[in-house]
Structure 1
Amino acid sequence: MAKKEAKEMSVEQKLQALYELQTTLTAIDEKRALRGELPLEVQDLEDEIAGLDTRIEKIDTEIKEFQSAITMKKGEVQEAQANLERYNNQLNEVRNNREYDSLSKQIDYERLEVELCNKKIKEATDQVAYRTNDLEIAKTEREERQKDLDEKKSELEDILAETREEETMLKERAKDLEVKIEPRLLSSFKRIRKSARNGLGIVYVQRDACGGCFNKIPPQRQLDIKMHKKIIVCEYCGRILIDPELAGVKVENGKAEKPKRKRSTRRKADTEEKKEA
């Protein structure tokens, strides 16, 4: 049914529907522009916090491993010291030089074992202190990033609360308009709009020039645009062209006056704040 309706539309009706769709999409873009870089900033902070969480978890695991190694080495020291005590007692009971030499070697080995274990304990203790400091720094940084994230989210939520209802209505309006436009024309319009820097896929003639790229339009081509007999695009930028009257723009002394548009509540509030300041 929608396709049939689109085919029965005149070129003038198609152009009107396209321009109305353009103004609706532009209004949606303006609502999104109010958010600025906030959504990206929120995402970046969330990613940074996730990275810090991973780092904190890794450092905490390393600290636990060092502490476990310290406990194990302390157990080995106690065992070696017990062996030393036993071997020293056995020295008093040796019966020949062979037994004495054997016990002496065991005593030397256990002493070296104690020294080595104490060295490992010191190194692990130093690492625990070093990594604990890193952990505190990471936790502090995470707290700061979390505060920043909470502030950005709150600011973004305020903006969304202001624009959500109106943006939803605009999106519904855009969907209704898209149904009325034939698929091929709609696809071309979206492609032009996507490649345009300002998101304008259809523009009206301003001062004998394209309202998108501002290149001059020949008089005969302007006449064709006013006739509404076919879809005409700018030979420079590829945007669809319509005459000002079809766009609802008043023309006085050869100059097109843009229709007045309401500013958003947020911008008014910002202006009032600046005046008060």
Structure 2
Amino acid sequence: MATKTEVTVEDKLRALYDLQLIDSRVDEIRNVRGELPLEVEDLEDEVLGLKTRVDKLKTDVETINYEITAKKNMIEDAKALIKKYAEQQKNVRNNREFNSLSKEVEYQELEIELAEKHIREFKAQIEQKKEVIAETKEKLSERETHLKHKKSELDAILAETEKEEKALIAKSEEFEKQIEDRLVSAYKRIRGSVKNGLAVVPIERGASGGSFFTIPPQVQVEIASRKKIITDEHSGRILVDPALADEEQEKMQKLFEKIK
């Protein structure tokens, strides 16, 4: 069995282009998913935020209701004191005591008025918060429905493509091992810096695939000879001749059909 050092340049070019075809297929699968995973994540965060808001508003309403109860108890206590002072006024010995008790009654009446004012304000706050709760619940329901739909959409795509993607990633790693580390590193560097992740491209109509820059005829001959690895001077992509590209595309298509 040949070792990596005994592999011909043509073998390296074929292996690199095969690797590119596999990685491009993985890119296609991920493009089908598009922004869905992020959309689902954002919706989950939004739903959680709305639920937290509803819970906080409900807690606020409970706290206000507690305050109302406290004010009502205070009113009852004040009324009891007014009754008590009114009884005491019947048994006073002089005007000073009578006036003193009258001031106490007046004070308790003011306390009742203030408490009733606070109760009205609290009730208005509760109504306002209940409106916000209703609006938030409505929005929450709408976002939960949207989330359910998006999750279902994502699950369907994952169910359809996950097995193929995993198999392709395993194949990509397998093919990488057949190529020397230096070339794999160069391939990954180019792939990360160019549009559409295309690091290895065939010549199309006398130009580098996906480019409008014409490749000189002499360079095209060199590429077709498959004696050395040649890169496009404009994009840095590794170039292969159309015949090699067609052969490898046909071969890899059969592999993709088996993986599906």
Report if TM-score (shorter chain) is over 0.5: yes
Q: Deviations over 1:108-143 (max 9, x none)?
A: 111111011111111111111111121122112111
Task: Give the alignment of 1:171-210 within 5 angstroms.
Answer: 171-210=169-208
Q: In structure 1, what residue type is equivalent to 2:131?
A: N
Change (3 A) 1:124 1:6: farther
Q: In structure 2, what residue type is equivalent to 1:102?
A: S
Q: Is the 8 A contact 1:5 1:180 kept in 2?
A: no
Report the counterpart of residue 241 of structure 2 in structure 1.
243
Structure with higher helix content: 2
Identity percentage over the alignment?
Answer: 46
Change (3 A) 1:7 1:75: farther
Q: Is the 8 A contact 1:212 1:237 kept in 2?
A: no
Report the counterpart of residue 269 of structure 1 in structure 2.
none
The 1-side partners of 2:110 and 2:97 are apart by 20
Q: 2:21 aligns to what SS in structure 1?
A: helix
The 2-side partners of 1:133 and 1:110 are apart by 35
- 1:31 and 2:29 matched: yes
Task: Give the alignment of 1:1-277 within 5 angstroms.
Answer: 5-248=3-246
Q: Is the 8 A contact 1:212 1:239 kept in 2?
A: no
Aligned length: 254
Q: 1:229 aligns to what SS in structure 2?
A: coil
Q: In structure 2, what residue type is equivalent to 1:119?
A: K
Q: 2:223 aligns to what SS in structure 1?
A: helix
The 2-side partners of 1:9 and 1:139 are apart by 66
The 2-side partners of 1:110 and 1:7 are apart by 101
The 1-side partners of 2:253 and 2:191 are apart by 21
Q: 1:241 aligns to what SS in structure 2?
A: strand
The 1-side partners of 2:76 and 2:9 are apart by 96
Q: Deviations over 1:60-88 (max 9, x none)?
A: 11111111111111111111111111111
The 2-side partners of 1:111 and 1:226 are apart by 104
The 2-side partners of 1:101 and 1:120 are apart by 28
Residue segments in structure 1 that go unaligned for 5+ positions in a row = 251-257, 266-277
Q: 1:248 aligns to what SS in structure 2?
A: helix
The 2-side partners of 1:15 and 1:100 are apart by 112
The 2-side partners of 1:147 and 1:114 are apart by 49
* TM-score for the superposition, normalised by structure 1: 0.85
Q: Which of structure 1's runs of 4+ aligned residues deviate more than 4 A?
A: 258-262
Change (3 A) 1:6 1:63: farther
Q: Deviations over 1:183-229 (max 9, x none)?
A: 22212211211222212111011111010323111122222222323
- Give the deviation of 1:249 after TM superposition: 5.3
